[in-house]
A and B are shown apart, each in its own frame.
Chain A
């Protein structure tokens, strides 16, 4: 198995609606930026791995439809789609494909134009037609049930949840690619309209148009392309049942088990101390509390304390979501891959104004389906 590194990436400036470009043109913007970041040309790329959630745009076969924009013309072009985890599946799948030895320079693309359809309607098509759809389908309600359970168990409050929204919004101010770049107060979050108890409007991620491209390279070429490649130390994922009644709400078992596997592979024993930055796919505020407990950063019920103590701020012990996270930017098929690109940016020192100083180890997650979790761990040192 080859060791694999991320050698560069490109993102679009994420926003609510990109009427000035169609899907393939949006994809192309991210691809051109990734090629420029690495100095590679389209001819240098061995293959393209691309993904999104088809039903958001209503166009199936994106790998074909976008062939002129994605760089894959007359090259091996592969598609991966796993719902909300699509972006992180791409990040893990790209790693697997290059580790296999079949590709040396792989272009990995995640994208979405959420503005092009009714997001809730489209997500409903991912739910079971017999058991879910007639009753209570949609992404938000399952997340609300999860949040309510967590609050019930530990006495966590809406104010605790609002605190992480404030953090992520502050961080996004320094990320030129973030979609929502506006400071917010705890009171503003608490006053925003209730959409599914206990979730309010500003507890939730936005719907975003955007694309992200990441270039993976094998150990044979990585150091020739990038002065400081970001090595992938571990990847793991877990998919629990898809029916919400079958899933244990706390702790999020998929993330718990995937992270333990990834920590073991990367030799990490104390994640809070040993990891320098995290980019988490946390699409609603409460996830930034309960899921950091599942990741082993805090004891059960003590996630809020870690956040209030400032440990996850930019100048804290373990900065979380320097980019502003998913609360500020969510082009769904790209979201998990943006987390990988951001971690690579942090390790290679290319994160600009939201750079955390001295990052040696980083972790990203992906979330989707019915509480599915993906994990990647990255390091500056070749494993």
Chain B
């Protein structure tokens, strides 16, 4: 909301809409998250017509309109194809001033939007190799991957 400065003759009503939702992940996303939760493995789905490997997985290829029924393990390492740091307040941000990036996992054709950690912003580069850090207590959602970190840190 804009900060409100108004003469006394103009009124407004402040409120908030808070409605509970339960969004279905569907079979495709559920399988993806269960593989991460139970086995720390990342999978994509392949379009039988154009051979594109979607990660995050898709049930349907938007181009070919084919059912992407084949599951392929991808990553877990990949490279950064774009990133930024949000320095503004976002109600849904998982951490303060998150660094978000597009991660193209090894073997995938599309990038996954996720957090990047343990790297000063000035050292981050497009093309940098990264690897995921899985959470200890995984619950079957996208944040079961805590974030991606520069690949060398995991081998060092």
Contacts and interface: CB of A to CB of B under 8 A. Distances in A.
A115 B1 contact: yes
A193 to B, nearest CB: 8
A144 interface: yes
Nearest to A21: B10
B94 A140 contact: no
Contact of A145 (B29, B83, B88, B89): B83
A118 B91 contact: yes
Given A148-B126, A245-B111, A246-B110, A133 B2 contact: no
Interface string B79-94: 0011111111111111
Nearest to B6: A19
A134 B91 contact: no
B117 interface: no
Given A136-B100, A136-B113, A241-B62, A120 B85 contact: no
Interface in A114-165: 114-118, 120-121, 124, 129-138, 140-141, 144-146, 148-149, 152
Contacts of A146: 82
Contact of A120 (B6, B84, B90, B101): B90
B115 A135 contact: yes
Contacts, number: 123
Count class of interface residues, chain A? 35 or more
A183 interface: no
A82 to B, nearest CB: 17
B25 interface: yes
Given A115-B2, A116-B1, A136-B113, A149 B86 contact: no
A3 interface: no
Nearest to B89: A120
A243 interface: yes
A100 interface: no
Which of B4, B81, B85, B92 counts the most chain A CB atoms within 10 A? B92
A135 B146 CA distance: 10
Interface in B68-121: 81-94, 98, 100-102, 110-115, 121
Contact of A197 (B54, B62, B84, B94): B84
B102 A197 contact: no
Contacts of B121: 197
A115 B89 CA distance: 17
Nearest to A123: B90
Closest 7 CB pairs of A and B: A136-B100, A144-B84, A245-B111, A145-B82, A129-B23, A121-B91, A115-B2
Given A149-B82, A207-B2, 9 more contacts: A58-B17, A129-B23, A135-B100, A135-B143, A136-B114, A140-B86, A145-B100, A196-B84, A243-B56
